[in-house]
Amino acid sequence: MWNRTKITELLKIEYPILLGPMGGGFSTPELLAAVSNAGGLGSIGAYTLSPEEIIETDKIVRTKTDKPYNINLWVNDVDERLVNYPTEKIEEIKLLFKPFFDELSIPLPDLDANIPSKFLKQVETLFELKPAVFSFIFGIPSKEVLNEALKLGIKTVGAATTLDEALALEEAEVDAIVATGFEAGGHRPSFLKPADESLTGTFVLIQQVKAKTKTPIIAAGGIADAKGIKAALALGADAVQIGTAFLVTDESNATPMHKAKLFSEESKNTVLSKSLTGRMGRMIGNRISSAIRYDIEVLPFPLQTRLMGPLRAAAIEQGKTDIYNFWSGQNAVNLKYTSAKELIEVLIREMS
């Protein structure tokens, strides 16, 4: 029985298919519910949400499903480099992006480097809500946080981009590890070494983690269909996590422009760039990622996000698809389903 694994037993779900917890407003209660109600594990990427917004989102989720679901947070949500970050450096980096702002006839924003972390307050809220699963990226929560999750009966799931990160997560006694290959869309959640030194592919990483740990493994990155699921399970994964294939569905909150781009020929050309947020992420290449190469210094996260926010909004409004950021995994060439319910039903049928 392909759907009886350590993960289905651990998370009390019917099928070892998890929705990638897409942050930045992409995931929705409707998308979560479509996956959870079909027997998988739905997710909400909540790192950008205030505690109050997490509570409101959770209220909506509970009207749409009574199945297990996951809330995802970022352990490290503010780069350490932002402490005492020089004002003159901010102004210098802003000038790199000025030609794009000028092209859209909008001013460069005023920026304040004093950005407090939201993580601990978000965790307090999560513990009040008690979702079935608390997943996290960009590090490992403190022992106190992990112990509280255990006490409340919340399963903990951490993301690793290397074997060393997986070993650190196992030592912390998390319940499951997401082995995140470099093929995955969105941010590279590396935390022991820089992201550009942590570029193991999904199918190699599964085998490394399987050989050296006993913790259940969830494979993520480049998996978009039943063939990918079968390959991941054959190599030792106990479940898969799928993001981009669900990003194009009607239930996701990606813009129509974003979904159209993912269905286009351009989706075959993804790059790893830090031009949008200050942290490395996989996206469809555009003029900004070409102009601001990875070795060029940009603002630390999330200050770079605040710099680019007005530019993204203006690009959407003006239809400038060549300078707007479109997150995407590396395997988007065969996307076909626009209904999340239909997508997961097809995955289950083709696995059976």
Q: What was the pLDDT predicted at 201?
A: 98
261: helix, strand or coil: helix
| DSSP string computed for 81-99 | GGTT--HHHHHHHHHHHHH
Encoded amino acid at 35, one letter: V
Domain spans, the chain: 6-78+116-252+334-351
Nearest-angstrom CA–CA distance, 199 and 28: 29
E strands, the chain, in order: 17-19, 42-45, 69-74, 133-137, 155-160, 176-180, 186-187, 217-220, 239-242, 270-273, 281-284, 326-327
Q: Which residues of the chain have pLDDT under 70?
A: none
Contacts of 198 (CB under 8 A, 6+ apart): 161, 162, 165, 188, 190, 192
Is the pTM above the cut of 0.85? yes
User: pLDDT above 70 covers what percent of the chain?
Assistant: 100
Which CATH class, in words, describes the domain spanning 6-78+116-252+334-351?
alpha beta
In eight-state DSSP terms, residue 72 is E
- 106-144: pLDDT as tens digits: 999 999 999 999 999 999 999 999 999 999 999 999 999
Q: What was the pLDDT predicted at 246?
A: 98
Residue 14 and residue 348 in contact, taking contact as beta carbons nearer than 8 Å: no
Q: What was the pLDDT predicted at 296?
A: 96
Q: What was the pLDDT predicted at 132?
A: 98
| DSSP string computed for 178-226 | EEE-TT-SEE----SS-GGG----HHHHHHHHHHH--S-EEEESS--SH
Nearest-angstrom CA–CA distance, 51 and 59: 13
Q: What was the pLDDT predicted at 63?
A: 98
Could you give the angle at which helices 303-318 and 87-103 cross, rounded to 10 degrees?
Answer: 10
Q: What was the pLDDT predicted at 167?
A: 98
